[in-house]
């Protein structure tokens, strides 16, 4: 459904357009109105608009000025001008701006509806004529699926993109599976599976993991089928290095994103469960209960030690637990190694809870040392070594939890409205104090940090896409192209166009057609 916005300084004109046009017949929704151009621009900055119907002579800002400003928000905006002036100069300027029609007041309803029909036909044909090659489709599909399964896309945008890509995401249940492997044939096999099986979708996430989303009508039957298909994938590629995890089955009407998080967590437990075929999140939950009850490991003590960055507390708890475990009847070296690995994974998950991403090789290196240990003393030394390095890493990062949250929020929402006032309200801290704290802990102002981060993202888009500069500016959070140029020149020695031309990595991308 196309979206129209109406601007006129005469309220009765706006009201009349709402009432006399059968908008639904043209598959159009009126999403807003304004009585002057400045007010219209403010609203259109947050409301997606396909068609603008505007008067040309208004106070504060003329219709022509409005059109120029609105085109910076949406270069593909279609415009219909209403005017009480049969003035050739106005008409000429309107044609220069690329309008659909210049209608004189009083408005001829038939002419208006014919203009609307012609405009929507052009927009529909433009969509049909869009040519997407397989590479572009894969990029767009991955982008949309990742944002959907992590809950980062609005329903309206999802509907539009899903329709374009033939994604049927309307079954009542889903289950996410994650596969990790260095086998280059795995991606091809998963693409083939997606092509063969309706309602199975594949993409690579930001961590490089292979992700399958299985839409389901009857989970009791279809989960078994999904596992069988994954087993067939395993048989066709390098089994030794392939780790498969299953997330929980979730209702699409609930927290469906939990399935992806659970599949990620199950991957971390792969070594603990020592299950060669796959790891199911349900087994992980059972394993957590068994471990905590059977061996009485004091996970809250470890959590407190991590939160306090206290090496001594953590080392004492490790000594206590493993001294108790080594004297537990029936304990075997294999079980001890499994529990040690589980401890390390639990600590990593604790870091995830506080959204700390340092020491990325912490698990890998520590688990290798544990599995290679020949005695319990060697094993405990390996565990302490990994935990000690982790504490050192935490102590090197002295930022307060509030600033860590602000940095993470900025990195995830850099293309949105960001200000100390907005963030201060969200995190319940006075914006002035937040500004002082941010500068004290990072060495730069919040505004400078945001601009630098946005310009870095813009440089990446200039290198890797063929997007227009004005589209890149909007994509990274600048609604005013002129301000983007100013900031770009501040942090980079040359203009955006020159930067793009000088890059050897510039590539055609679907993002020249769609914003992510």
Cα–Cα distance measured from residue 62 to residue 44, given in angstroms and rounded to the nearest whole number = 16
- Indicate if 158 and 246 belong to the same structural domain: yes
Structure tokens at 12: 């009765």
Q: Tell me, what's the pLDDT at 488? A: 86
Q: Is residue 284 part of a domain?
A: no
Q: Tell me, what's the pLDDT at 512? A: 30
Residue at which a domain ends, from 333, 368, 396:
396
Residue at which a domain ends, from 129, 146, 167:
129
The three-state secondary structure class of 130 is coil
Number of structural domains the chain divides into: 4
For residues 117 and 124, is the Cβ–Cβ distance under 8 A?
no
- Indicate if 340 and 433 belong to the same structural domain: no
- Indicate if 227 and 144 belong to the same structural domain: yes
Measured between its terminal Cα atoms, the distance across the chain in Å is 20
**Model confidence, pTM:** 0.43
Note down the domain range covering 53.
Answer: 2-129
- Indicate if 380 and 457 belong to the same structural domain: no
Could you tell me the CATH number of the domain that includes residue 17?
Answer: 3.40.50.2300
CA distances from 294 to 54, 297, 301 (A): 72, 9, 17
> What average pLDDT is seen over the chain?
81
Q: Is residue 290 part of a domain?
A: no
Residue with structure tokens 């049969």? 86
- Indicate if 65 and 163 belong to the same structural domain: no
Could you tell me the CATH number of the domain that includes residue 459?
Answer: 1.10.10.60
Could you tell me the CATH number of the domain that includes residue 194?
Answer: 3.30.70
Q: What does 80-103 look like in DSSP terms, one character per residue?
A: EEEES---HHHHHHHHHTT-SEEE
Q: Is residue 291 part of a domain?
A: no
Regions of the chain where pLDDT drops below 50: 291-294, 355, 358, 501-516
Q: Tell me, what's the pLDDT at 256? A: 95
Q: Is residue 245 part of a domain?
A: yes
79 bridge partner residues: 52
Pairing mode, if any, of strands 210-216 and 173-180? antiparallel
- Indicate if 112 and 227 belong to the same structural domain: no
For residues 317 and 305, is the Cβ–Cβ distance under 8 A?
yes
Q: Is residue 13 part of a domain?
A: yes
- Indicate if 249 and 363 belong to the same structural domain: no
- Indicate if 413 and 386 belong to the same structural domain: no
Q: Is residue 495 part of a domain?
A: yes
Q: Is residue 390 part of a domain?
A: yes
Q: What does 365-428 look like in DSSP terms, one character per residue?
A: HHHHHHHT-SSHHHHHHHHHHHHHHHHHHHHH----HHHHHHHHHHHHSTTS---HHHHHHHTT
Q: pLDDT tens digits, residue range 278-332?
A: 889 988 776 555 543 445 566 777 777 777 778 888 899 898 888 888 777 766 6
- Indicate if 376 and 407 belong to the same structural domain: no
- Indicate if 246 and 259 belong to the same structural domain: yes
CA distances from 211 to 1, 146, 191, 423 (A): 31, 9, 11, 33
- Indicate if 100 and 152 belong to the same structural domain: no
Q: Is residue 147 part of a domain?
A: yes
Q: Tell me, what's the pLDDT at 378? A: 81
Q: Tell me, what's the pLDDT at 271? A: 54
Q: Which of 369, 390, 391 lies closest to 381, judged by CA?
A: 369
CB neighbours of 430 closer than 8 A, spacing ≥ 6? 424
- Indicate if 110 and 17 belong to the same structural domain: yes
CA 373 to chain CA centroid, Å, is 40
Residue at which a domain ends, from 235, 253, 279:
279
């Amino acid at each position: 459904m196309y979206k129209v916005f109406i601007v006129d300084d005469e309220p009765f004109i706006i009201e009349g357009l709402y009432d006399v046009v059968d908008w639904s017949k043209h598959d159009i929704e009126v999403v807003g109105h304004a009585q002057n151009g400045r007010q219209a621009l403010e609203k259109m900055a947050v409301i997606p608009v396909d068609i603008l119907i505007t008067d040309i002579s208004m106070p504060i800002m003329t219709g022509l000025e409005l059109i120029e400003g609105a085109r910076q928000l949406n270069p593909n905006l279609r415009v219909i001008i209403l005017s009480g002036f049969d003035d050739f100069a106005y008409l000429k300027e309107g044609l220069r701006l690329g309008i659909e029609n210049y209608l004189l007041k009083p408005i001829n309803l038939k002419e208006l509806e014919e203009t609307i029909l012609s405009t929507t036909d052009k927009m529909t044909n433009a969509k049909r004529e869009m040519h997407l090659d397989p590479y572009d489709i894969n990029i767009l599909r991955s982008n949309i699926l990742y944002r959907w399964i992590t809950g980062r896309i609005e329903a309206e945008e999802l509907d539009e993109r899903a329709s374009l890509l033939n994604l049927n995401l309307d079954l009542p249940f889903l289950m996410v599976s994650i596969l990790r492997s260095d086998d280059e044939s795995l991606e091809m096999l998963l693409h083939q599976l997606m092509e063969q099986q309706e309602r199975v979708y594949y993409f690579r996430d930001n961590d490089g993991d292979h992700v399958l989303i299985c839409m389901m009508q009857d989970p009791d039957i279809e989960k078994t089928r999904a596992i069988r298909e994954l087993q067939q994938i395993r048989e066709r590629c390098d089994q030794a290095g392939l780790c498969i995890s299953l997330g929980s089955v979730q209702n699409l009407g609930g927290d469906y994103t939990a399935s992806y998080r659970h599949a990620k967590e199950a991957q971390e437990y792969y070594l603990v469960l020592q299950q060669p075929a796959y790891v199911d999140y349900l087994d992980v939950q059972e394993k957590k209960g068994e471990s905590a009850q059977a061996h009485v490991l004091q996970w809250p003590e470890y959590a407190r030690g991590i939160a306090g960055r206290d090496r001594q507390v953590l080392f004492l708890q490790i000594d206590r637990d493993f001294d108790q475990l080594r004297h537990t009847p029936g304990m075997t070296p294999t079980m001890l190694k499994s529990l040690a690995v589980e401890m390390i994974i639990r600590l990593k998950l604790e870091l995830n809870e506080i959204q700390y991403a340092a020491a990325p090789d912490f698990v890998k290196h520590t688990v290798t040392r544990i599995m290679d240990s020949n005695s319990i003393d060697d094993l405990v030394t390996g565990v302490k070594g990994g935990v000690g390095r982790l504490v050192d890493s935490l102590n090197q990062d002295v930022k307060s939890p509030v600033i860590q949250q602000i940095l993470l929020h900025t990195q995830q929402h850099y293309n949105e409205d960001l200000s100390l006032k907005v963030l201060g309200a969200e995190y319940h801290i006075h914006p002035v104090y937040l500004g002082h704290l941010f500068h004290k802990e990072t060495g730069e102002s919040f505004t400078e940090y945001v601009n630098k981060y946005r310009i870095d993202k813009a440089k990446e888009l200039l290198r890797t896409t063929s997007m227009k500069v004005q589209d890149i500016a909007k994509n990274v959070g600048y609604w005013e192209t002129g301000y983007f140029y100013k900031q770009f020149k501040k942090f980079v020695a040359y203009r955006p166009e020159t930067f793009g031309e000088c890059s050897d990595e510039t590539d055609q991308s679907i993002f020249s057609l769609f914003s992510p």
